[in-house]
């Protein structure tokens, strides 16, 4: 932790497309500020994983409203870097490419967004949180004191996703081609931007940061220093 922020604790909302660096940046900024990090993307991935495991994706495509049964009594919890759903550690499973391919569809369903938004707002009620996702600054916490919008070149994002898969996929498992990953990322960008409910948008007050050629240390420093400036101004 670099230093304690002052008495006023703020909400930091970090939005952006897939693999733009949101999660890593948010996690490290939270550590440096002594804040709680909430990975909302992981929350949507847990619902997607549950749909895949129960084999109901086709049913949901034909009858989206039936997703409500999937959300009944779901409990999502963060324990450090671990993600737990209904008491089970799913940290590695939610990063599998099968989940990445379907999460935009699950995220587009209004009952899913409504339920998870309730959970996210409750998690951020005490403030002093860094939350990342697609609609944090525009829908979940439009009153966040600091709003960040990360962007990056699609190819660079595909390379990051490929590196993530290498690190998390069991040895011997065939990985998708880099060109395929890039096309999937572009498709997901379109899906996120065009969905009816809470599409990916940059808030007018958000600071846009292009991470294509930034080190993770540099992008973390930018967000961290913006947070310190806002806290100083609000004393």
Q: List pLDDT tens digits, range 12-42.
A: 999 999 999 999 999 999 999 999 999 999 9
Is residue 130 packed enough to be buried (19+ CB in 10 Å), middle (13-18) or exposed (0-12)? buried
Domain ranges of the chain: 11-227
The one-digit pLDDT tens for each residue of the chain (235 residues) are 554 544 578 999 999 999 999 999 999 999 999 999 999 999 999 999 999 999 999 999 999 989 999 998 899 998 888 999 999 999 999 999 899 999 989 999 999 999 999 999 999 888 899 999 999 999 999 999 999 999 999 999 999 999 988 888 888 888 899 999 999 999 999 999 998 888 999 999 999 999 999 999 999 999 999 999 998 875 5
Q: Sign of the C-alpha dihedral, residues 47, 52, 53, 55?
A: positive
Query: Is 157:16 a contact under the CB 8 Å cutoff?
Result: no
Of 231, 43, 8, 5, the C-alpha closest to 122 is: 43
User: May I ask the CATH architecture of the domain 11-227?
Assistant: 3-Layer(aba) Sandwich (3.40)
In this prediction the pTM is: 0.84
Q: Which are the contacts of 171, defined by CB distance < 8 A and separation ≥ 6?
A: none
Q: List pLDDT tens digits, range 67-78.
A: 999 998 899 998
Extended strands (E) in the chain: 11-15, 36-39, 76-79, 82-85, 88-89, 129-133, 146-151, 207-210
Q: Is 226 helix (H, G, I), strand (E, B) or coil?
A: helix
């Amino acid at each position: 932790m670099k230093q304690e922020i002052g008495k006023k604790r703020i909400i930091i909302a970090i939005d952006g497309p897939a693999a733009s660096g949101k999660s890593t940046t948010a996690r490290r900024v939270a550590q440096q500020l002594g804040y709680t990090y909430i990975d909302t993307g992981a929350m949507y991935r847990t619902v997607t994983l549950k749909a895949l495991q129960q084999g109901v994706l086709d049913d949901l495509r034909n009858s989206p409203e039936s997703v409500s049964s999937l959300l009944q009594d779901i409990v999502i919890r963060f324990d450090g870097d671990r993600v737990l759903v209904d008491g089970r550690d799913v940290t590695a499973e939610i990063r599998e490419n099968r989940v990445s391919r379907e999460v935009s569809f699950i995220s587009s369903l209004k009952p899913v967004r409504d339920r998870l938004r309730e959970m996210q707002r409750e998690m951020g009620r005490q403030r002093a949180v860094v939350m990342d996702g697609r609609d944090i600054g525009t829908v979940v916490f439009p009153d966040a004191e600091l709003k960040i919008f990360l962007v990056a070149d699609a190819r660079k994002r595909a390379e990051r996703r490929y590196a993530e898969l290498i690190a998390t996929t069991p040895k011997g498992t065939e990985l998708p081609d880099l060109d395929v990953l890039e096309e999937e990322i572009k498709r997901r960008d379109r899906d996120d931007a065009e969905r009816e409910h809470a599409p990916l948008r940059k808030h007018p007050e958000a600071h846009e940061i292009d991470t294509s050629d930034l080190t993770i240390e540099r992008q973390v420093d930018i967000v961290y220093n913006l947070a310190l400036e806002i806290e100083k101004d609000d004393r």
